[in-house]
Structure 1
Amino acid sequence: MVTPVLFQITGYQNTGKTTVIINLIEYLKSAGFAVSVLKHHGHGTPDLPDKDSARHFKAGAGAALVEGNGTIQLHASLSDEETDSIEKLLEILNMFNPDIVLIEGYKNKPFPKAVIIKEENDLVLLKSLRNIHAVLCWPEVAGKVHSLNLALPVFEINSSEFHNWFLQHYKIMG
Structure 2
Amino acid sequence: MTATPFVFQISGYSNTGKTTLMTELIHRFEHAGIRVGVLKHDGAHDFELDQPGKDTHRFSAAGASFVAIQSAAKSALIQRGSLSPDELIKRLADAGAEMILVEGYKRECYPKLVLMREQSHTALLTELSNVVGAASWFAFRQEGLPVFGIDDVDSMYELIHNRFLAHR
TM-score w.r.t. structure 2 length? 0.90
SS at match of 1:36: strand
Report percent identity of matched pairs. Answer: 32
SS at match of 1:90: helix
More helix by share: 1
Establish whether residue 164 from structure 1 lines up as the match of residue 124 from structure 2: no
Q: 1:55 to 1:156 in 2, by over 3 A?
A: farther
The whole-number CA distance in structure 2 between the counterparts of 1:91 and 1:155 is 30
Show the counterpart of 1:90: 89
For 1:11-160, list aligned pairs within 5 A: 11-50=12-51, 51-78=54-81, 83=82, 85-138=84-137, 141=138, 143=139, 145-146=140-141, 149-159=142-152, 160=154
2:8 alignment partner AA: F
Is the CA contact (8 Å cut-off) linking 1:36 and 1:100 kept in structure 2? yes
Q: 1:173 to 1:36 in 2, by over 3 A?
A: same
SS at match of 1:102: strand
Unaligned segments of structure 2, at least 5 residues: none
Count of aligned pairs: 164
Greater shift after overlay, 159-168 or 17-26?
159-168
Q: CA RMSD in A?
A: 1.5
* 1:84 Cα offset (Å): 6.3
